Amino acid sequence: MPSLNTPQLLVSFLIFLATANFPSNIKASTNTNDVYQPCSDTKVQKSDGFTFGIAFSSRDSFLFNQSQQLSPCDRRISLSSLNSQLAVFRPKVDEISLLTINTSSFFPDTYGGYMVAFAGQKYAARSIPAFVANSTYIVTSFTLVLEFQKGRLQNLYWKRDGCASCAAKSNFFCLNNQDCAIKTTDCKNRGGSVDCSLGIQLAFSGTDKHLAVLNSWYEVENLRQYSLYSLYSNLRDSLTSQYSNLF
C-alpha cells in the first residue's frame, strides 16, 4: 500500500487494494449511498454500501497535542506526514463481512503497529487505536462493530472476547487479557510459515435511516470470534489453517 496522503486522493485507488471478502451467495440489492469517501458524511439504509477507512500508524500519531484522539480525517493530526498506511473498505450495511488485509508486503509493525477505524467529517467517528503488531507479536483477528443511529455512523468499536478463543492454544499468546497474538517470527517473510494477514470481522448495530434495526451484531454475538473464518474456504487454507482447531 502507498503511504497515507490526502485521504481524498487515495481512496479510489486503495479500495481495490484492500479487499473485502463476501460470501458468494449475496443477492444483488440496491445501493442508495453515493458517498464513497471515508472522510465524508452520509446516512445509510440496509443494503447500502458504506465506506470507511482503517489507518495504521503509531498510537501517538492519532493524538492531537499528545492528548486528544481525533479522527484520521481531521487535518489537525497530519497522519499523511507521519509513517502511516490507509486501507478503505465498502461493506454492505447489516451484512456480516470478513475484511482481509494481506500482510505479504505490508507489515503493520513497520507503520507504528496500531490501527484506527474511522468515517465521517462533520460527524466524525473513530475507534480507539487497536494494537496490531510490534516486533515480537502480531494480532491477526479482530471484530469491529459499526454502530449507527438513524443511519448516521455514531461509533466504531473493537469487540474483544478476553482471549477466550485462544485460551490454552499453544501457538497463541494472550496480550493484556484481550488480544490473541502470535509470534511475528511464526509469520511468512519473518522466518515462519504462517500467513499473518489480518482478518477483521464486521458487524452492524443500531438503526438505519428508516429506523430499521441493524441485526448483524446479534448474529456475531452468537458466533464465536473466529467462526466466520470457516465460511471462507479460500482463507481457511491460507489465513486460518493455524486456527483450524478453533472451529
Ligand X SMILES: *[C@@H]1O[C@H](CO)[C@@H](O)[C@H](O)[C@H]1NC(C)=O
| DSSP string of 103-142, one letter each residue | -SS--GGGGTSEEEEEE-STT-EEPPPEE-B-SSEEE-EE
171 binds ligand X (CB under 6 A): no
74 binds ligand X (CB under 6 A): no
Side-chain-side CA neighbours of residue 78 (13 Å)? 2
- Amino acid in the structure at residue 118: F
How many residues does this entry show for the chain? Answer: 247
**154 secondary structure, DSSP code:** E
Among 48, 74, 95, 195, binds ligand X (CB under 6 A): 195
Binding mask 22-61 for ligand X (x = CB under 6 A): ----------------------------------------
Do the beta carbons of residue 182 and residue 125 sit within 8 Å? no
81 binds ligand X (CB under 6 A): no
Grid coordinates in use for 155? 461509533
184 binds ligand X (CB under 6 A): no
85 binds ligand X (CB under 6 A): no
137 binds ligand X (CB under 6 A): yes
78 binds ligand X (CB under 6 A): no
Give the interface segment with ligand X, choosing from 23-31, 133-141, 142-150, 159-167 (CB under 6 A).
133-141
Q: Is beta strand 97-101 parallel, antiparallel or unpaired with respect to 20-21? A: antiparallel
Among 25, 65, 233, 245, binds ligand X (CB under 6 A): 65
Give 143 or 197: the residue with its C-beta nearer to ligand X: 197
Give the interface segment with ligand X, choosing from 28-36, 82-90, 135-143, 156-164 (CB under 6 A).
135-143
1 binds ligand X (CB under 6 A): no
154 binds ligand X (CB under 6 A): no
Among 17, 82, 175, 223, binds ligand X (CB under 6 A): 175
Q: Which residues contact 148 (CB under 8 A, 6 or more apart)?
A: 44, 93, 154, 204, 205, 206, 207, 208, 214
- Residue 139: beta bridge partners? 181
Give the interface segment with ligand X, choosing from 3-11, 39-47, 130-138, 159-167 (CB under 6 A).
130-138
109 binds ligand X (CB under 6 A): no
Sign of CA dihedral 228, 233, 239, 244: positive
Among 136, 193, 215, 241, binds ligand X (CB under 6 A): 136
* C-alpha torsion 37→40→43→48, nearest 10: 0
Under the rule (CB under 6 A), what is the footprint of ligand X? 65, 100, 102, 104, 134-137, 175-176, 195, 197, 235, 238-239
